[in-house]
Amino acid sequence: MHKSKDISKYNIDWQILRANIKGDNKDLPAKLNKVFNFFQQNPTKDNWERCVNFLEGLSLGFKAAGNQHAINLIKNEIAKYGDSKDLQKEKNNSISNVNDIAKYSFQERYKLWVDLFKRNQKWLEKGYLQKEINEFMDNLYNSFTQAEKQQIKQNYSKANLVALRSIAEVKPNTHKFFF
């Protein structure tokens, strides 16, 4: 797995899809199909990398569980994506996507907020302050109306996130990447 310098995984369309299919291990083929459909709708280098990295990470989870059948399904799926060399870069790969965030419902944005909060919390508690996820989460939070902000559970509040960031700024980074 790799991350290109100028490609962000914090694209609102991708993140909404990723959060919606996360944890849905009951129907792996359907999950794989959703990711491939996302790529087919906008086949750019950026989306190629987002999708292939997601699938490689998914494969690692099944490898840890010893599920060779799922690993083989994912390997075959990755082969469908081909090589990214012939694809175009996205014109706007900014992680802000402020205008696009608003097109999603509160439920979709909130589900993503909670998912990213949990991920970021683990990182921040280990002293890893990742700029992209924090910038993206700030934009996502700013998309909530005042009424929506009041519906956010206390343990996922912006105040808790800011407190975690403050701790991470002075704590040594002990986060270990799995790839």
Q: List pLDDT tens digits, range 136-159.
A: 999 999 999 999 999 999 999 999
Contacts of 69 (CB under 8 A, 6+ apart): none
Band of pLDDT at residue 4, cut at 50, 70 and 90: low
Structure tokens that stand for 105 in this block:
């419902």
Domain ranges within the chain, ordered by starting residue: 12-86, 98-170
pTM assigned to the model: 0.88
Q: Does residue 134 contact residue 120 with C-beta atoms inside 8 Å?
A: yes
DSSP 158: H
Q: Does residue 53 contact residue 35 with C-beta atoms inside 8 Å?
A: no
Q: Does residue 164 contact residue 130 with C-beta atoms inside 8 Å?
A: no
pLDDT above 70 (res 62): yes
DSSP 86: G
